[in-house]
Structure 1
Amino acid sequence: MPLPHHLCSKLQNAFRARHHQVSFDHTTQNLGILSVLLRNGFLISLTRGTTQSSDPIAFHSTPEAQRRIWATLKYRDDRPVLNEMELISMPSKRIFMTMNEIRAIVSGRRAQFIRPLRMGEIAIIKTKDKENEWLEAREALRLNTPGEVLCRAR
């Protein structure tokens, strides 16, 4: 299973190289993180496809290993909307936060060793709730759902 740092670095490098689209392995984790980025305006669209193209019809007839998620990157005034993605929780040290700690980073205070979120910045949280497994920190706060803080994007 690919780790979140692979997605973060690949997406950040694609923005820096001014790519229009980039593909990722079709996993639940990648789909969850990318959908949070899409909901928060960092991406234009997400499409399922194959290793060659973003063709949703061909997606169903290809083998599992060749299925991909294609993300269309968003630029404003020829500058990338996503400037930086930083991994917070790592395989060697996973960071779980309670509701009070999530409230602290959202409202501008430090929690554990994590800096508070700045204007236009989001934190992606993986929860144990299967219905809302991948959330942005403010959504997790609104739904009163603690979890693991995977990464932050600005």
Structure 2
Amino acid sequence: MDSLNQFYSIIQNGLKAKRSIVSLRNSKLVWKLLNVLHREGYIRGLELKNNKINVWLKYKNDKPVINKIKRISRPSNRVYLSSNNISLYKRGVGIILLSTRNGIYSDIDARLQGLGGEILCQVF
């Protein structure tokens, strides 16, 4: 299982089980994705300890802030968007996480900076 699949499944399973904290194997890509989710308010916090990333999940009124993480781009089917087409793809729901030439960005930040890139996932 690649690090992105592990990231998606551990976060979603932790939310379904109403866990307050989950641990993931450290990877640069996963760390960057989690930093964007933290900055956008989807998780309470994160910490790197002993080559593990501890993630504090966020709940509002006993319901998870993240309802679903949907992987868009896959190794067998890469999906790319230009900065002009981000809002067309998003349709106003959740955020999109993009891998751009300058790093990992949310759809809003990428559009503001005029960056397109590979759509990693959509968070609802």
Q: Same fold by TM-score, threshold 0.5 exceeded?
A: yes
Taking the TM superposition and a 5 Å limit, the aligned residue runs for 1:128-139 are: 128-129=101-102, 133-139=103-109
Do 2:84 and 2:111's aligned partners in 1 also have CA atoms closer than 8 Å? no
Q: Deviations over 1:16-66 (max 9, x none)?
A: 10111111111111001111111111110111112xxxxxxxxxxxxxxxx
Match of 1:143 among 96, 113, 118: 113
Q: How big is the alpha-carbon RMSD for the aligned residues of Structure 1 and Structure 2?
A: 1.4
Unaligned runs of 5+ in 2: none
Aligned-partner Cα distance in 1 for 2:15–2:29 = 20
Deviation at 1:105, TM superposition (A): 2.6
Q: Which has the larger radius of gyration?
A: 1
* Number of aligned positions between the proteins: 124
SS of residue in 1 equivalent to 2:23: strand
Indicate the residue corresponding to 1:105 in structure 2: 89
Normalised by the length of structure 2, the TM-score is 0.93
Whole-Å Cα distance in 2 between the matches of residues 81 and 73 of structure 1? 8
1:123 aligns with 2:96: yes
Shift of 1:5: 2.4
Letter in 2 for 1:20: S
Moved over 4 A (4+): none
CA contact (8 A) 1:125 1:147 kept: yes
Overall identity of the aligned pairs, in %: 28
Counterpart code for 2:104? W
Q: Normalising by structure 1, what TM-score? A: 0.76
